[in-house]
Structure 1
């Protein structure tokens, strides 16, 4: 039997197996057929580098623990960009197990969940806040409530292109609590997509502490570098 015939038989067999076992679900990155309930294939998962480290955000005599689940590179970067700018919400589901692992590994305790607010401009352009979406995924797994606590209180420059010091100065005093009654004496989990300098999540956390929160832990999907 020639090599051409053997290859053809293997091709037909592969097609038949795909018809039998495929659920119609595809890897959201490469398009490979998946088992039911999966969003990424094994090969694409291999590119995701687990982080699970803790960064202590120390500034203005405040200290907040920030936990990140994976590193912001390769497939992680592509997935976050799909979620953030292309309304591909299924991309967020690729991260929920990593985020839950981070919560379990570090024994993060919290009463309510909130998220970094988007600017009015970003909300108008995208129609949603990716941080809020991620917070809701965590809420589904933990049976905790997602509460809108913060809003952007002033216009700021785009963080892209700014130095580390410029980013911190740019975001200073740019967030405010909209309902302080919801956070009194509460341990809060603040969710965001990417940690870079930490300026955004720091000032959000500081604002909540100043308005009566007991403690704030920060959870981001990914950790980046400036």
Structure 2
């Protein structure tokens, strides 16, 4: 474990030596370069002023609510890139602490965590699913069960480059329920989907659709590490 997830001796961004007590294993300079999102619209994920409502009536989502931890830009974008494409898996446990603190702030108390599944081809190329890593560390931090009832059966294009209709067509039927879960007595009601980046929300919507067709009486929310929809 120490080889894959080394102790927080240096800043996970700039590698400068830091005290182990520093939040999220970041030096003060890097910490202040991150925009943490305190209040976001739970319908669409956009940052909002606590005194004003979000103007997102046109956003038609299936999930019950969504929560965003940080803005996807600059330092945060760079660190997520390292996690996803440079095998910097040790970053995931520090990101999970950011997500855990957001859960405290929002008063979230889900029964289970479900990571956004990765396709077989992406798993083969990358060797891991960054959303699953986040969910596993978060589950350990919060003592919450992590399950993977959904499987992805096709790769999808980047949804941020597509229009609303194209997004829905691209992601439709991209997921299915793993056969080992189909007949399971599913007693949980509050599900929290875990992902690294929110772009359009279409992926989480499609996951929610499949989950609610599978089990009717459930609440499906999402917790996302970072979003550019701010």
Aligned residue for 1:151, secondary structure, equals: strand
Distance 1:45 1:26 in 2: 13
Higher strand share: 1
Say if 1:64 and 1:202, in contact at 8 Å, map to a contact too.
Answer: no
The answer for unaligned runs of 5 or more in structure 1 is 1-22
Distance 2:187 2:36 in 1: 34
Higher relative contact order (CA 8 A, sep 6+): 2
State the shift of 1:33 in Å. Answer: 0.7
Aligned pairs for 1:136-215 (under 5 A) are 136-159=136-159, 161-178=161-178, 179-180=181-182, 181=184, 183-212=186-215, 214-215=218-219
What is the count of residue pairs matched by the alignment?
Answer: 203
Equivalent position of 2:228 in the other structure: 224
Aligned pairs for 1:41-52 (under 5 A) are 41-52=27-38
Say if 2:160 and 2:199, in contact at 8 Å, map to a contact too.
Answer: no
Change (3 A) 1:126 1:182: farther
1:120-139 C-alpha deviation (Å, 9 max, x unpaired): 11111001000000001110
TM-score (norm 1): 0.81
1:101-141 C-alpha deviation (Å, 9 max, x unpaired): 21112111211111110111111100100000000111011
1:125-176 C-alpha deviation (Å, 9 max, x unpaired): 0010000000011101111111111111334334363334422321122111
Equivalent position of 2:54 in the other structure: none
TM-score (norm 2): 0.80
The answer for unaligned runs of 5 or more in structure 2 is 1-6, 45-58
Higher helix share: 1
**1:36 maps onto 2:23 in alignment:** no
Distance 2:145 2:188 in 1: 16
Say if 2:83 and 2:92, in contact at 8 Å, map to a contact too.
Answer: yes
Q: From the CA coordinates, give the structure whose radius of gyration is larger.
A: 1
What's the RMSD between the two structures over aligned residues? 2.3
Say if 1:65 and 1:218, in contact at 8 Å, map to a contact too.
Answer: yes
Say if 1:184 and 1:211, in contact at 8 Å, map to a contact too.
Answer: no
Deviation >6 Å, runs of 4+: none
